[in-house]
Amino acid sequence: MQVTVLGSGTAIPVASRFPAGYLLRTDATVAMVDCGPGTLRRLPTVGVPLERLDAVLLTHYHTDHCADLAALLFALRAPQFAGRPPLHLYGAPGLVRLVGKLTEAWPWLEPRGYDLRLHEVLPGTFALGAATVTAVPIRHTAQSLGYRIADATGAAAFSGDADTCDELVQLARGADLFVCDCAMPDDQKIDGHLTPRLAAGYAERAAARRLLLTHFYPACDGHDLAAAARTAYGGDVVLAEDGMALAIGR
């Protein structure tokens, strides 16, 4: 299993980071976790043509996590993708409404030449190729989900945007990689988001093997987030950068 950071930023445009998006590659499946604006364009730069994309899992419906959904659905109508395998979209209840409203506004998002399969996800598990995904409710919006994706090689956990909640421990328990919201420095915490020490505290309680801090607002610039995290967590701390690839497990 491999995780590539497509976007480590937020809704605020900055030169070096796109909004939220991650690419997950297993032996059997290529999936995005979130698809913030710009992240679709990263796929060819990391060697994934659109015909290879099997699934998109959305943590919540804030625009910095899903705006490229419209761009994706429009792109997949191109004749070159006709007959490709189905694209599976996963998200909390509201997904069908979101896609319906987008298609109402932009009728040319209607799938053509391929099947679009929408899956509204409740907390619990579902299969994604040979992997098992566990969806965990996370405190951020009313229907935010974290995803833990595990196969025979290892497990990666994605908090999505997250405020303090014990479910983060369940999400990341024993994970090889815990990708966690770290929106602001510790002395500037905002509602709905975590800071490096808070994220690290959950990684420590969960005994996650490696913590990937991400979703950095510009206020993070100039702060030593990794040092702050290491005060609360004994594992490996990595600060996300767009394009960074991390191998997981055996």
- What is the DSSP annotation of 77-100? TSGGGTTPPPEEEEESTTHHHHHH
Helix H or strand E segment including 2:
strand 2-7
Contacts of 106 (CB under 8 A, 6+ apart): 70, 74
Least gap, CB of 9 to Zn ion (angstroms):
9
Least gap, CB of 188 to Zn ion (angstroms):
16
- 188 or 231, CB closer to Zn ion? 188
Contacts of 81 (CB under 8 A, 6+ apart): 50, 51, 75, 113, 114
Q: What angle do CA 71, 216, 19 make, to 5 degrees?
A: 5
Residue of 151, 161, 163, 242 interacting with Zn ion (CB under 5 A): 161
Residue 62 as a binder of Zn ion (CB under 5 A): the answer is yes
Residue 64 as a binder of Zn ion (CB under 5 A): the answer is yes
Known catalytic residue at 64: yes
By rule CB under 5 A, what count of residues binds Zn ion? 3
- 62 or 88, CB closer to Zn ion? 62
Structure tokens of 123?
């907390």
- 149 or 194, CB closer to Zn ion? 194
- 183 or 203, CB closer to Zn ion? 183
Distance CA 144, CA 162 (A): 8
Stretch that binds Zn ion, among 40-48, 59-67, 196-204, 227-235 (CB under 5 A): 59-67
Q: Which candidate in 34, 54, 64, 186 is catalytic?
A: 64
The residues of the shown chain that bind Zn ion, judged by CB under 5 A, are: 62, 64, 161
> Which positions are catalytic?
64
